């Protein structure tokens, strides 16, 4: 395991439309899973209508 060797693991997630309930549930489940595994989780929320570029 990476952390056993002194490393760290992180997941950066992006929600494009923070008002979309399904996206918020998905992100919450990601956060819960990461916490259970000791993975650092960072959520970045972009306003609706944001461009991917």
28-48 burial code (b ≥16 CB/10 A, e <16)? eeebeebeeeebebeeeeeee
Q: What is the pLDDT of residues 5-32, one digit of tens each?
A: 777 889 888 887 767 888 889 889 999 9
- The alpha carbon torsion through 1, 41, 49, 22 (nearest 10 deg) reads 90
Classify the phi-psi angles of 49: left when phi > 0, otherwise alpha if psi is within -120 to 50, otherwise beta. Answer: left
Write out pLDDT tens, residues 26-37: 889 999 999 999
Could you give the CA distance from residue 35 to residue 29 in angstroms, rounded to a whole number? 10
């Amino acid at each position: 395991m990476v952390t056993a060797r002194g490393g760290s693991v992180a997941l950066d997630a992006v929600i494009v439309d923070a008002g979309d309930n399904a996206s918020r549930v998905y992100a919450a489940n990601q956060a819960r899973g990461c916490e259970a595994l000791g993975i650092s989780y960072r959520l970045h929320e972009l306003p609706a209508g944001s461009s991917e570029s």
